[in-house]
Amino acid sequence: MKLVSWNVNGLRACVKKGFNDYFKETDADIFCIQETKLQEGQISLDHGEEYTQYWNYAVKKGYSGTAVFTKVKPLSVRYGLGEDAEEPEGRIITLEFETFYLVNVYTPNARRDLSRLAFRLEWEERFRSYLQQLNTHKPVIACGDLNVAHREIDLKNWKSNLNNAGFTPEERDKMTQLLDAGFMDTFRHLYPQREDAYTWWSVMPGVRARNVGWRIDYFLASSRLDSLLKDAQIDCHVLGSDHCPVILEINV
């Protein structure tokens, strides 16, 4: 099974920059996107009858939002964190399949001034608890923009970014706690020492060309899926957003 995740940072803009071509080229079984930045009815994507679409829109216009396109019909679909039916920022979609759960997530940003760090950390606690709950029933694959570079190897200039949003000790510790709770970072599991592997770059001139980036987009998976992993890839050559797509191939 081939799964793709991409923070498109505005789907309407990304469509104008080749999204549909990439979608067709990858021919994924499941394609997840984050930061759609639109409301219902503002876009129409036709990828044929083989794909079923699921959308979670933010209440605030032009903000956040997630979507999943899947060839495999899920057994059930839910939005938000567990019993939390109120999901005004459209950050999570969970699809239940016969042998696993798929969770598409766009993690809140702590903001440059860290004014949302406390909210982010509380959200992380609920997110970890939610994944652990799912994991007791069947394995979990969680993907999306997690807004954290976990280790020093996961961003180019780690020393100058210490305590910056996305690389604070608190955010990194939450990621460690999540992995310790029975999950694995599939890319790092397969490529523990690979350097210069990034998924997001600042829009400042020349930054992406020099590959001064961060790896903040992930496929996490229940540790017991270890033997089923085939490959994890980063399509860093794909433009259209300040993030690039990430891919997981797994035998599920």
- Give the active site residues: 106, 145
The closest of 201, 92, 108 to 146, measured between CA atoms, is 108
**How buried is 233 (Cβ within 10 angstroms: 0-12 exposed, 13-18 middle, 19+ buried)?**
middle
Q: What is the DSSP string of 240-251?
A: SSSB--EEEEE-
Residue 69 falls in which region: left (phi positive, over 0), alpha (psi -120 to 50) or beta: beta
Using CA atoms of 51, 73, 145, 24 in order, give the dihedral in degrees to the nearest 10.
-20
The residue behind tokens 């999901």 is 87
Indicate the SS3 state at residue 179: helix
Q: Are 69 and 43 in contact (CB under 8 A)?
A: no
Look at the alpha carbons of 202, 104, 81, 58 in this order and tell me if their dihedral is positive or negative.
positive
